Amino acid sequence: MPRQNFKLAGHAFLLSMIAAAYPVIGHTAPAARVDFAVGNVKAIGPNGQSRTVAKGAQIEQGETISTNNGRAQLRFTDGAYVSLQPESEFRIDQYRFDGKQDGNEKGFFSLIKGGLRTITGLVGRTNKNNYQVTTSVATIGIRGTEYTIQYGQSVIGTVGEGEINVCNGAGCLSVTNGESYYVQNDAVKPVLTNKRTDLPPPAPQNPPASFAEAENVNENGESCTLDPASCVPPAPTGLLTGTLSPGNVAYATQFGSQNVGTTPATLDANGLLVSFDRFGSPFSLSNHLPKSGNEAGNDGIIAWGYALDSSGGEAVHYAVGTVPSISDLNTTFTQMTGTYELLGATTLTGSLGSAGTLNNAFMRVDFGQASGNISVGMDLNLNGTSVSASATGNFSGSGSIFIASGGSFLSSTYLDVSGFFAGANAERAGVSYTVADPSVNSNETFRGAAALKQTGLTSTFAQ
């Protein structure tokens, strides 16, 4: 996609120009409707009066949407979507769209607090200066793209597709596909950052030539095109315990062995893995490190942790989960695309005694009848050095085990991943992995394990 450039003035200047150039107009047509609302979502008018909104409610120019402890998704008349996170306030300052792009359409919005994700519509495509989202520390101008904003005392966000310009009184920053930005305050120029906010995983290597995407809805039939988390069932109560026969286990040891397989596995009453079959023989674990050290977790579908074998001679990072049924994702005419984000991870251990952390992980999976493509990305800190790594691979459409790799030990960041899917419709994934980077130490490798949760599942139908 060619880069799209947007030039914006400073924040204070923009506010004065907008006020002068676009006086309040008597256009009373609804600006948007509510695709779904969960929790105590309110619409507050310019006069301070508020009303509770639900699916189908119309939102007018001048109204502020306050999600409180809930969340909402708005669909604007120009085709744009705005998904609002909990504890967010979003105001429609000025909006006009008469069903055509004649240069008179406009969309000026304010994110007062909280976070949003949006896919822009037709407003701004003819006249790019007629679209802006303003916070107290920066203003964003954009056209035909997808991006996120998280706003508290500062602003941070990520561009999924397209390009934006983030501006304040200290200057402007162009942010394009896959890049993230940070604005400390209105007196500091925006900068690029490695911290991602809801960054979509990369596209598959071999996407279909043409497809039509089915609407992504939750169990109540409510759209969650921009808010895939609302389509994912809530985490179960209780722990994954007892004997899984079979269960899926991925593990990495301090001695460099790494594997994944479907095998009997047993978890104790605290949800910690105490034994599993390795190479056909029982292998026992004990001395699990507490959460204050290497993180351990268990959400009732998948568990992860770090422990020693019973003899105390071998340290093991592991993830363990139920064996899913994913046959319903693999039909002749339907391809399901799943996206995943980090749920929890162990602290990495280095082969030379160093330590590391997994700060973020994301995964995209294209389920298919015969086989599926998979892409994994990770942001890590290895012995004090920030590193990004990626890997690609595939798996059998009838199985739940996958492997992926990318990079080179000698010339670039190397990542090797062994993993499995767990839960209904593959709603969880567990991985063990090895990562190395020449900039950290060409002789050191780091190992860890992690659990990922599904954040979206979308149907695409080949044409």
Do 309 and 187 share a domain, yes or no?
no
In this predicted structure, the answer to whether residue 291 has a pLDDT above a threshold of 80 is no
In this predicted structure, the answer to whether residue 312 has a pLDDT above a threshold of 70 is no
Instruction: Assess contact for 458 and 365: CB atoms under 8 A.
Output: no
Instruction: Assess contact for 96 and 64: CB atoms under 8 A.
Output: no
Confirm whether 3 is domain-assigned: no
**pLDDT tens for residues 276-286?**
998 788 889 88
pLDDT (average), residues 450-459? 84
Q: How far apart are CA 401 and CA 178, in angstroms?
A: 28
Do 161 and 258 share a domain, yes or no?
no
- With vertex at residue 350, the alpha carbon angle to CA 346 and CA 351, rounded to the nearest 5 degrees, is 135
**pLDDT tens for residues 177-190?**
878 888 988 889 99
Look up residue 408 and give its two tokens.
């080179």
Do 129 and 222 share a domain, yes or no?
no
pLDDT of residue 93: 94
Do 235 and 184 share a domain, yes or no?
no
In this predicted structure, the answer to whether residue 212 has a pLDDT above a threshold of 50 is no
In this predicted structure, the answer to whether residue 14 has a pLDDT above a threshold of 70 is no
In this predicted structure, the answer to whether residue 22 has a pLDDT above a threshold of 50 is no
Do 327 and 291 share a domain, yes or no?
yes
Instruction: Give residue 231's identity as a one-letter amino acid code.
Output: C
pLDDT of residue 64: 96
Burial class for 193, CB neighbours closer than 10 Å (0-12, 13-18, 19+) = middle
Do 278 and 338 share a domain, yes or no?
yes
Local confidence band at 133 (pLDDT 50, 70, 90 cut-offs): very high
Do 59 and 87 share a domain, yes or no?
yes
Question: Across the chain, what does the average pLDDT equal?
Answer: 78
- What is the total count of domains within the chain? 2
pLDDT of residue 237: 54
Report the predicted TM-score, pTM, of the whole model to 2 decimal places.
0.52
pLDDT of residue 213: 37
Local confidence band at 138 (pLDDT 50, 70, 90 cut-offs): confident
Q: Cα–chain-centroid distance for residue 124?
A: 26
Most confident stretch, 40-49, 71-80, 173-182: 40-49
In this predicted structure, the answer to whether residue 24 has a pLDDT above a threshold of 50 is no
Q: How far apart are CA 132 and CA 142, in angstroms?
A: 7
Tallying the residues shown for the chain, one arrives at 463
Confirm whether 2 is domain-assigned: no
pLDDT of residue 25: 38
Range of the domain at 142: 11-193
Do 341 and 275 share a domain, yes or no?
yes
